[in-house]
Amino acid sequence: MDVLVQMNDLDLNDVRRFVAIAQAGTLTAAAEQLQLPASTLSRALTRLERHLGALLVQRGPRGLALTDSGKQYLQWCRRALQNLRHGGELLEGRRRSPSGLLKVACPVTMARDVLAPLLKEFLGRYPDVRVDIEPYAASWDQEPRDDVDVFFKLLAPKDSLRRVRPYPGTVRGLFASPGYIKASGSPVTPDDLTAHVCVGSGAWKLSRGKSTATPNILFRVVSSDPAIALRLALSGFGIVVLPLWLAKRQTFAMA
């Protein structure tokens, strides 16, 4: 257990400075190379030796000389730093030119209206990437699976270890065609919606600022599919709830 604690407490900067000192031969030369005060390098060397419990460098009037332990440790440090550098270069290369299969799960309407138009440009930019789109029409509250790389859902995952980022397309609003608003008028309060033709499902929880309301709406058409709501709204049938990314592509009046 003590060894693990020591390794976790090891300062990689101290290792790099030790390598620079050993290669330069003097603190002054290493300080010029690293553009650091010689006193900083001296403290780093002392700190590393104390951490390892071994003398790495002999200080003398003619400069510095590596001990046998220092020579052996230097070889391993060079290999370790080289591996770290190669690892960084590998990751940077993968960032510049990713490859492999990217699996995405999202609602059917999002797959069709958002992702599909972007695929040609995306795959042209990253020719070594393949994309597997898994559209779903089930409940928005289903949980992401381990075999899916990117999962779009309305509610935050129950697994707190998941990395979650907000997507602006989850914001929704009330919409109707200009023809419907002209014929039936625009609701002023949430309760006014009960007198309008509405398409949706479940309960509409409406918010403006800090106030929220859940009007008791009897839907003329019950459907959770945004594509159906969009088509009915465009025909002038009634008022619907749509994601902003879907509604902004159309000519709508805000209800």
Long-range pairs for 213-219: beta carbons < 8 A, 24 or more residues apart: 213/189, 214/190, 215/190, 215/191, 217/193, 218/194
Contact, 38 vs 62, CB < 8 A? no
- The pLDDT tens digits for 159-207 are 666 777 777 666 788 999 999 999 999 999 999 999 999 999 889 989 8
What is the per-residue pLDDT across 89-148, written as a single tens digit (0 to 9) for each?
A: 888 888 888 899 999 998 887 888 888 989 999 999 999 999 999 988 755 667 778 889
Whether the per-residue pLDDT at 5 is higher than 50: the answer is no
Q: Which residues contact 10 (CB under 8 A, 6 or more apart)?
A: 51
Nearest to 59 by CA among 45, 78, 71: 45
CB burial of residue 1 (10 Å; 0-12, 13-18, 19+): exposed
Domains, in order of start, for the chain: 2-95 (1.10.10.10), 100-165 (3.40.190.10), 172-254 (3.40.190.10)
Measured distance CA(113)–CA(117) in Å, rounded? 7
